[in-house]
Amino acid sequence: GNSVTQMEGPVTLSEEAFLTINCTYTATGYPSLFWYVQYPGEGLQLLLKATKADDKGSNKGFEATYRKETTSFHLEKGSVQVSDSAVYFCASPLYNFNKFYFGSGTKLNVKP
């Protein structure tokens, strides 16, 4: 069936380490893809998005490339900071533009 799947957490990294959080989707066609970030006690904020295949979304040093061959949208950052500690959610409308499908969230802990 249609779904968004992301890697289980928590992910614990040291400051300045490289980050990858995997996200794959199952759907027909090429839906828009999104990454949201949730800091403790807050709502979700849009981090970046890609609306078509081969697009790259980027924001605050984070990047994700829409790869249609692998139906993936992995989130990457070259050098994480303690302030990046949060929960990251991959999301997409998939086939139904009336509502989004969210991954289960990946908690990132960055240690100084």
Whose Cβ is closer to other proteins: residue 47's or residue 80's?
47
Taking the C-alpha atoms of residue 104 and residue 106, their distance in angstroms, rounded to an integer, is: 7
Our CB check for other proteins shows the closer of 69 and 99 to be: 99
Q: What is the spatial distance between Cα 103 and Cα 6, in angstroms, rounded to a whole number?
A: 6
Residue type, 104: S
Smallest gap, in angstroms, from Cβ of residue 51 to other proteins?
A: 9
What Rg, from alpha-carbon coordinates, does the chain have?
A: 13
Nearer to other proteins, 19 or 34 (CB): 34
Min dist CB 94 to other proteins, Å, is 13
Task: Give me the sign of the Cα torsion angle 86, 44, 71, 52.
Answer: negative
Q: How far apart are CA 72 and CA 26, in angstroms?
A: 9
CB of 99 to other proteins, least distance (A): 6
Q: Which residues bind other proteins (CB under 8 A)?
A: 32, 34, 36, 41-46, 49, 89, 91, 97-100, 102-105, 107
